[in-house]
Structures are given as structure tokens and as C-alpha cells.
A = this chain, B = another copy of it.
């Protein structure tokens, strides 16, 4: 018998799930996907590069168009928002924004892929014109429209990777840019000793970086438009304000239907992406919490790469196959100007929070053999469990060729390797790619020596 799955949210997670399930089950599965916005399957991570001018057209950010999905047999409905969920009757209430109608849609399976929403600090003026999030392509279009009015000064609130990428994009557009953050250093996903290097790189680009600053509000002009960011460290004039203050799971539909959420407000699923205790309901992407495989705790990490993997696993299981999403280790990479930034696993403060005893090492090395043209500095920090020597986390900051070295540590964390084991790893060596001891191995070696000395 043909079953129907309704997918709520047609971006990375939702459409990965829809495509995979449809591919596996074909006519046996009726797939309806609902998207309240006007774009599908796009790379939100690419928005800063589009705004900064590195990516010429929004179309390049779209991995698959609505028509392509329809050609694959998916009933994709754009500007169609799921506004209500009746779990007993197994129906979704859908608002069709194009036709301004509302209808009910029955389902056998429901996939919640509702994503995340930007966290808007609860301060006066935050909703003013001229204050922008950068979560969706529609947001990106709004920022680009604002840039057409030739603003001179941008203030970015938040020093995380989106805030920093947007700051760089604004610099590339010729604006004077200030970044205000409540953290001691920008890039608080790193420990402050590593974030310090990001701070310096931002200043070298001409960005005015204000740390340990508390936001009080957005000052507006007589026209109601934002014209300043108000903080405990004074007022920063702004023709444009960008919010890079992180995101939270968008789960209001599920909450209203009585589904319970985890500590971070996200949906909780089993390994196959089935929502616990709610038969027939699945979830994937930025609206779910994941298991942090290092600490064992649930975490909320909104990243396109997880959304895709979770969507694929979900779609495989929905399609009658078997696949799991075991969790994350907290890997993230980003780029500020020519500085590459990477992290995985736990920071010092995470270790303190979950009760790991640890030691840390920091080493400086080079991305290539020191004598090979283009060799440049890279700094590697490791966080290691005391006693066992188990790797708990790693952070890397450096020039070209630095960031993806984090993958070695990510795979090591996945396999619960100790630094003694890591020292022996057979990593690729040739002068154009690495010193004879890869920087990651030098750090592990130093950690081993530190442990032996204790």
C-alpha cells in the first residue's frame, strides 16, 4: 500500500531525507515536501560569500531547484507553511502563502526538518529596519538590497563564525565594520588563547573588534531605522546591523503539538532519526539535538553537513534501508581573510563543565616543510584527558593548509584515541604538504612528553 510522508522544511535535511526515501521506495511512497520560504536545498553557509561578492549569483548556492526535486517525483510545495500538527488524526495544517488558503494534509510519516531560527537578543530596537539576520537566502537578499543604498558603517553583533564571515563580507564591500561580542575573544568556539589569534587577524583586516561587550539595544532614527548599536561600552554608529548571535532549534510546530524537547530546545531522536516516543514522526537537521560523542551529552550544532547526513540516514530508514547518525564530535572550520580556523571536541570550559580532568599543549609549526615555498605558521592546541591520555579536543589556527588538519583529530576523537596512539599515526608526508612531523603529531608528541613528566 502506498504510504504518504509529509516533509516539513525543504532545505538540506528535509530534501536529503525526501530524495533518499523516494529513491529507495519509488511509487510506493508519496512524498510531499512543504517549504514556507521561496528557496529549497540551498547552502546557507554560502550566504556570507554571496554577500561579500565571492559568489556571483544566488543561484550558485542552490544545490537543487524545486523543479529538479519535482522531476524526481517529489510533490514539493513552495511558500507552503505547516502551521499546525494533529498527531492523533495524523494531519498537518498547511498555509499556502501564494494562494492565501489553508488546508489539511494527512500523513503516515512526518519528517520535521524545520531548521533553526536566529537568536534575537531581547533588547529594545532589535526588530528595527536595518537589523538583519543571515539565516536564509531571503535574509541574504535583504542584506544585499540594503547594500544598494550604499551604507558606510556596519556593526556585527556576535563574534562567532557567521558574525566574522559577515564582517569580512562587509569589509569586502567597502564598509567600515565593527564587531561587538560579549566573549573575551571572538570565535568563542575556541579557547580564548586561540581566539586571540583570530582577534589579531580581524584587526589586521581593519575590523574594529570590541570584546566583553554587553548589548543594550539598537538605537533608531526618526524613520524607525537602526542607526546605532547601544552597549555597555558605548554607542556604535551603524547604517546596517547584522546579527550573528547564533541560532536556536525552530521547533514551535512540534512544541505546540505536545512533543517534548531536549535541554537546548531541539527534538530528540534515536540513531535512525525517529523522534523518541512519537511513532511515525522523524526529524533531522538544525531542529534536532545530537549526541556529542566525546562527552556523551546532547548538544545542538546547526551545520549543513550534519543536516545532510541526518537527512540521508532518515531517508534511508524511511525508505526501508538501515543507516544511523551516531552523533558529532564538534568539528567546525572557517576562514577569516587568509586565516584558517578549526576546532573539534571539547574546549577547556567544556571539560570543566562535564567533569573531565585535562591538560593542554600548544605548539607552533608550519603547514609545509620549513624549506618548501609557501610554508606558513600553524598553531595547534590539544586538550587531553589526564591519566588516560585520551584526546578530548583540538584547535588549529593558521594560514592556508591549516584548517582541514582538524579532520585527523576529528577521526581520532571518533575512535577515542590517546595522544600516544596519535603520535604513531601514518599521516601523509611530503615537503609540499607537511613537515616530516605533521603539526598535529608534534602537538600529540608534546602532550605525551607532558604526561610522562607528570
Contact = CB atoms under 8 A, between A and B. Distances in A.
Nearest to A328: B426
Interface stretch (A124-132, A190-198, A319-327): A319-327
A404 interface: yes
Interface stretch (A97-105, A148-156, A329-337): A329-337
A429 interface: yes
Contacts of A372: 46, 49, 54-55
A335 B430 contact: yes
A52 to B, nearest CB: 11
A54 B12 contact: no
B46 A331 contact: no
Interface string A83-125: 0000000000000000000000000000000000000000000
Contacts of A321: 452
Interface in A307-349: 308-309, 312-313, 321, 323-335, 340, 342, 344
Given A411-B408, A426-B330, A403 B433 contact: yes
Nearest to A414: B425
Interface in A409-449: 410-412, 414-415, 417, 420-421, 423-434, 436-438, 445, 448
A329 B426 contact: yes
A436 B12 contact: yes
Contacts of A411: 408, 411-412, 415, 425, 427
Contact of A427 (B305, B371, B434): B305
A324 B49 CA distance: 46
A429 B304 contact: yes
Given A321-B452, A430-B45, A309 B404 contact: no
A43 interface: yes
A424 B46 contact: no
A333 B401 CA distance: 14
A120 to B, nearest CB: 24
Contacts of A61: 371
A240 interface: no
Contact of A46 (B306, B371, B433): B371
12 contacts: A43-B436, A45-B436, A46-B369, A55-B371, A305-B427, A308-B437, A324-B424, A333-B430, A344-B426, A407-B407, A407-B408, A410-B427
5 closest Cβ contacts across the A-B interface?
Answer: A333-B428, A305-B429, A60-B371, A411-B411, A415-B415
